[in-house]
Structure 1
Amino acid sequence: MRLSRRQVLECVAALSIAVSVPTFASAAEEFKMGLLVPGSVAEEGWNKIAYDALKQVEKELGAKISYVELSDNPAAFEKAFRDYASHGYQVVLGHGFQFQDAALTTAEDFPDTVFLVSSSYIHEGNVIGLNTDASQPFYLMGVIAASLGKGSGLIGGMEIPPIAHAFDGFERGAKSVNPDFPVSKVFINSFTDASAAKEAAVSMIARGADFVVPNANAAGLGVIQAAQEAGEKASTFSVYSEYTDVAPKNILGTFLADYGRGIVRIVSDIKNGNVPQSNVDFGLKDKDVIKFTLNDEAAKSIPQDLRKHLEEVTAKIVSGEIQTRAQ
């Protein structure tokens, strides 16, 4: 049978679409997911969030799972990605922006594996970013801090996009209340050094910050401890983990990301052949993923009028009326 030029072009287009999306051999094939974390899953905070998500995938999707704990070594990241992909893992999650480059390099050789990267806005072929938009709950923290305090200090693990976006959200929230509200920032270049985070927070409190806020994974516990030891001089927020029992009077609110719910949703789609066609951005609209709650036992109570304002601000963030970070 001879095909017309138009029919040939249609066939070529169909083939181009077919090869651009990873496919899995059959429904009977064992579905496997691997996880790379920059540290220990036993630590409360960022790494445990990913591990709990992996366990939910195992339980709800019947997947075979595996994980590897790594130090900050890009060569080790790429090797781990390659090991999983070469053993037929259909999905591999690198839990952190620092895994992005290794995922992009590895993905070129393994087009049938989907590489997910946490805290990333990437979408190139079979590399897909999963971002929990922390700028949105941080915007609410900024509103609270500027409404109740005189100045804030933000302590970040590293100056990478997801943390910069979160801090941008905090500053925007604070400035929406008081354009002159002072906000200082420091990055300790570590996600595990709680002592360095605590030292930075203590220094900020000494310089007049009555709110100190962490975004440093496990190291953030040092900020909570600094606030607790400062007593009435400092307030803070629990970020990614529930630390209220450490400083029940100093923590005004808690931001938790039930990353597992979002991961199960995305990985379930991938298992069914529906690979996301853009990066995935979880926000306050995803009530099953992002939760921001207030601590009623805090020494610095949040008045009802401020609570009502926070509800109104949340609605505007969800609708898109308020932009919490630079686009």
Structure 2
Amino acid sequence: QGMVGGMKIPLVQRYEAGFRAGVAATNPNATVLVNYTGSFTDFALGKQVGQDLLLKNTDVLFAAAGVDGLGAIQAVKEAREAGKAVSVIGVDSDPSHLAPEAVLSAVVKHVDLVVYEAIREQRQGRFQGGNVSLGLKEGGMGLAPVRLDFPGKDEALRTVEALKARIISGELKVPTQPAPSGTAGANP
């Protein structure tokens, strides 16, 4: 598995930590390769980094890199067109319209919910500024639909739902700091 990260900032490192933990939860023997581009605005660099990770036999890329991530999606799209069985997971919104045959899913931020809650709190006179974290339990994030078909898809989706339930219940804590390079992450 591989991840193309943009700038190495806490938010993107949280994505890395979650990706590593997810890989470890489903395949404890897997290795996760991560490469940060240092940018969020360089499509060509994201594509190059994505191609490099694909050359290292990654079969799923996680693209958490803004415009650089769009380049990584393009790298996966081209690799699939060349017959390679690879896919990509996006972030923030569902990028499947860019490469429907290559996008596995995406970690989606439900910004609409955050805006709605802020407006509702303001109208009720309860709004307070500051950082608010809305995760799976609060509905602040989720996964885009998995549209690709692959062997074992039904079982994989059941596993994802079971892990999601464990996270929402608090039984499983998603790490916020990445594990050391070359490892998938801590086992849940």
Judge which range, 159-168 or 212-221, deviates more.
212-221
Partners of 2:67 and 2:151 in 1: how far apart?
Answer: 27
Partners of 1:227 and 1:302 in 2: how far apart?
Answer: 21
- Relative to its length, the structure with more helix (as a share) is 1
Tell me if structure 1 keeps the 8 A contact 2:64–2:90. Answer: no
Tell me if structure 2 keeps the 8 A contact 1:237–1:255. Answer: yes
Matches of residues 1-327 of structure 1 in structure 2 within 5 Å? 152-231=1-80, 232-270=84-122, 272-276=124-128, 279-287=131-139, 289-296=140-147, 298-300=148-150, 303-326=153-176
- Once the two structures are aligned, what percentage of the paired residues are identical? 26
Q: Which has the higher contact order (CA 8 A, sep 6+)?
A: 2
Tell me the CA shift for residue 299 of structure 1: 4.7
Tell me the CA shift for residue 213 of structure 1: 1.1
Tell me if structure 1 keeps the 8 A contact 2:94–2:144. Answer: no
* 1:5-25 deviation digits (Å, cap 9, x = unpaired): xxxxxxxxxxxxxxxxxxxxx
* 1:106-146 deviation digits (Å, cap 9, x = unpaired): xxxxxxxxxxxxxxxxxxxxxxxxxxxxxxxxxxxxxxxxx
1:52 corresponds to: none
Tell me the CA shift for residue 168 of structure 1: 0.3
Count of residue pairs the alignment pairs up: 174
1:109 corresponds to: none
* 1:62-81 deviation digits (Å, cap 9, x = unpaired): xxxxxxxxxxxxxxxxxxxx
Tell me if structure 1 keeps the 8 A contact 2:5–2:37. Answer: yes
Tell me if structure 2 keeps the 8 A contact 1:250–1:299. Answer: no
* 1:230-282 deviation digits (Å, cap 9, x = unpaired): 01332111322332122212211133222122123124324543244873111
Tell me if structure 2 keeps the 8 A contact 1:238–1:251. Answer: yes
2:183 corresponds to: none
Counterpart residue type for residue 95 of structure 2: Y
C-alpha change, 1:212 and 1:277, in structure 2 (3 Å) is same
Partners of 1:194 and 1:177 in 2: how far apart?
Answer: 30
Partners of 2:169 and 2:136 in 1: how far apart?
Answer: 10
Tell me the CA shift for residue 284 of structure 1: 1.1
**Segments ≥4 residues shifted beyond 6 Å:** none
* 1:147-172 deviation digits (Å, cap 9, x = unpaired): xxxxx111111111111011101111
Unaligned runs of 5+ in 2: 178-188
Q: What's the C-alpha RMSD, in Å, of the aligned pairs? A: 2.1
Partners of 1:302 and 1:274 in 2: how far apart?
Answer: 47
**TM-score, reference length from structure 2:** 0.83
Larger Rg: 1
* 1:204-226 deviation digits (Å, cap 9, x = unpaired): 10111111111112321111100
**TM-score, reference length from structure 1:** 0.49
Tell me if structure 2 keeps the 8 A contact 1:213–1:236. Answer: yes
